[in-house]
Structure 1
């Protein structure tokens, strides 16, 4: 059809145009062409031949004819010939309005509607914390990937999605909110840093957009790259941003590509390598950036600008070495890693010392958000996820104890007594360690195991002491870890059972809560 000029596709670009005839996405096919009756007749013949040769049937009820700057009367006549419907821009595809402005909050309303249906309140009521966490992770990795991988989501949309996730995780909804005991930022940390490993939407969105920057380096012969080059042009080996005449999608990709110029990538030696990313021509793989390059200073925001150590970079004979190579040659001032074109001046040697200090700080510094051994012990292969999340809250003192509820002005200070009736303030430390009723469980567990008596001032220290009290092999410590998590979970369940029982009796008696609690405490 195309070779005999029976069908004319859509051409992109002026100087070196690229003809786009069709695009395929999974089981969907998009045919693109100019407005003319010859193309309509050619499409009719092609579809009939496809059905005859393949034995498959085209679903015309789901097919649409969409036009850009084409009168509706012409589209109606062409659609009647093709036996399909007339579509309008924007139209929904995979749950997103194609052709709409992705910068508007209304663009992601279909995604928000689907999230609301999936993360409904009745599911949060019948799911444990572990089930909610698994559902949230599955939703983030499946439902919104298509939207976040093509468009930069507005901050308002990300905030709305995170609000839905937060309410669902803590068992609430838009109309019935519950306390967020731990901030969403801490929940999104990795497990080794004290979080639950939930993806942060903004970073997840930027990472998926960075895929396009990477493809510009490794797939310059692809159709999409050639279309962008024909549409916006190439200058100094880089695709132009297009300015105001460019699409908002491409401007965001170009802006994101300029921001992600430097990346730190770990190596097997534990030393980060610095790679420079760009849209330039030449090698299709990222070129390792020299270690003493000035752009290192921008990573830690230590000031000085990009040209801070440019003089040392120009004087260095080994300015193209990798981090691993320079580390093996020696970092000291007399090491072979520093080979100069001439002898350095005194002020240049002072600059070298400053550069060495900066590089050493860059290579040896760690993230200030760390996870101690106690927080790492809550994850056990034989413990349900809901129990591990409970221990995660317990070690942070973020359980709904009466002391925490009074602190948040949810419960009156008159009802601070422990549910066991011991008369003490119900805090996490008292409930799990010093309560005369609940702490007896630890004594029974120690006598059963045969471990020594422990006196801990904090729950975290009690956790470590309990595991290390038995000593022995790794398997025995794992068993002690399991016992501690089970005992803490049993104490929490028993406390909640007593609390529900007292409320049930109070509802039958018909007394106010303050009068009833005083009676219960007096009897016990």
Structure 2
């Protein structure tokens, strides 16, 4: 380790040229790949001291439940959050540990950058405690790792830093002349990535979603520095995938739900262990680790707003049972799968499919393993009913037994499967794509039109040209007809074509059916050596040019000409 820390060399770039190497004699420098590991090694020393203090009862951490874990500190790199009961003993122990850490590591704690916060404590005690630790008095909510801890996620003020950062980023681009294609690239690469950290933890209020969407929409259509421009196409269409006729801009609300769904999925994974799962299980019960969907009655009225939002993801979209449909049981030995309440046979829950039998059952909470005896390929089901069954009820039992013949058992433990992915593993991408399928966007595209929308993005044409072609296919370009329709151009000025002055100037006429456009296309066809009768619309023209090509190379060139 000493060789790693003191054995490095560095050189300085002067006008782009490196100077001679300098031997490092005073440890790692900022930016060295090993510097991060050194932070972790040193921070682990402090964490070990805190754990030892808790074990010998010198420091009392905070516990949500008597059977839950005791939390004394949280660490991430060089950011540390100490948590404990309010007592003088805790203050003495904490100060002693911090002083010992300084002497052992050589890293001095900057108390003036540290703060002490109390929950439901008197101001007098807090003043004495802050004076004792030589630190400032903090307030809740406070920021830790970039997130506001203790803030109400349903207030717009909590999301103000996000809105400010988005507007600040836009102001830096406001003076630049960006095409529509360039603005689209910036939205997809930058504006959509800025709020990801917030969206992955807190449910976004509707008003904040509207503000963020408005910022993106105005920037896309050219409005900067508070200006507004005409939105030619509905934002829901813009958010569709490119293969479905959109621009691929991610919908903020659906991204938020997809990211929050990851917490629900991680709760169900036994191999995904962590302190956060232990804390949630201690506060809300172990059933949250075994059920994909929780009835509303199981959510405590005093639960945190964050937990209520996580539990009610189903209510945020029109398809209210989307979580139940996408998270299903993959049967192993049946020990952890509820016979009636878990979706393990495909389709509906058995309690829903056989409501009469469920009402008569004395084993409503039983697992699959408790109801079956497996002997090789033979399965015997043991049901208990609260009374003798009628003949028609016995027929329902026979239907149930016929369905259960398809059950396959193994020696493996039961697990959960994500229907939205072929491998059965959850991903934010698959969750977003599934939610997008249920998004209503108005008139649906014909399969032929959807194919053309997908093909236009495969061209090597610059993005600004492709985006204009996309607008053109929707007839959402600033022709006279569209400008008059939106009240921008006075109808008294006339709507006839600027070239022929005979027919109403629409996108289809201007680019395909006008005499000037016809002459241009005929000249192009003659130059290419193809014979094409002008089709009724631009979709068919794109398809005709593609079919006229003799090979893939010429097909790519013909499609490029269509864009031009």
TM-score (norm: length of structure 2) = 0.67
Match for residue 478 of structure 2 among 391, 400, 403: 400
- Which residue matches 2:487? 409
Q: 1:11: how far off?
A: 1.7
1:24 pairs with 2:81: no
- Which residue matches 1:442? 521
How many Å separate the matches in 2 of 1:7 and 1:292? Answer: 53
**Structure 1 residues 217 and 453: CA distance shift in structure 2, 3 A:** closer
How many Å separate the matches in 2 of 1:179 and 1:415? Answer: 21
- Which residue matches 1:303? none
How many Å separate the matches in 2 of 1:297 and 1:17? Answer: 35
Instruction: Report Cα offsets for 1:389-433 as digits up to 9, x if no partner.
Output: 111111111111111111112111224243446454322122212
How many Å separate the matches in 1 of 2:351 and 2:57? Answer: 56
The within-5 A match list for 1:37-116 is: 37-93=88-144, 96-116=147-167
- Which residue matches 2:280? 228
Q: 1:256: how far off?
A: 2.9
How many Å separate the matches in 2 of 1:94 and 1:431? Answer: 55
- Which residue matches 2:181? 130
How many Å separate the matches in 2 of 1:297 and 1:407? Answer: 52
Match for residue 320 of structure 1 among 401, 407, 412: 407
Q: Secondary structure at the match of 1:151?
A: coil
How many Å separate the matches in 1 of 2:226 and 2:196? Answer: 27
Q: 1:254: how far off?
A: 2.2
**Structure 1 residues 128 and 246: CA distance shift in structure 2, 3 A:** same
Q: 1:251: how far off?
A: 1.6
- Which residue matches 2:344? 289
**Structure 1 residues 93 and 440: CA distance shift in structure 2, 3 A:** farther
- Which residue matches 2:545? 466
- Which residue matches 1:515? none
- Which residue matches 2:264? 213
Q: 1:479: how far off?
A: 1.5
Q: 1:71: how far off?
A: 1.9
**Structure 1 residues 415 and 81: CA distance shift in structure 2, 3 A:** farther
- Which residue matches 2:199? 148
| Matched pairs, number | 421
- Which residue matches 2:464? 386
Instruction: Report Cα offsets for 1:128-173 as digits up to 9, x if no partner.
Output: 2222122222345432122211121121221221111111111125
Q: 1:476: how far off?
A: 1.6
**Structure 1 residues 256 and 373: CA distance shift in structure 2, 3 A:** closer
- Which residue matches 1:456? 535
How many Å separate the matches in 1 of 2:350 and 2:155? Answer: 35
CA contact (8 A) 1:7 1:33 kept: yes
The within-5 A match list for 1:496-511 is: none
How many Å separate the matches in 2 of 1:281 and 1:138? Answer: 46
RMSD of Structure 2 on Structure 1 (CA):
3.5
5+ residue gaps, structure 1, are 266-273, 299-305, 323-364, 487-524
**Structure 1 residues 92 and 221: CA distance shift in structure 2, 3 A:** closer
**Structure 1 residues 145 and 294: CA distance shift in structure 2, 3 A:** same
Instruction: Report Cα offsets for 1:432-474 as digits up to 9, x if no partner.
Output: 12334454433332232212243222121122222222x3112
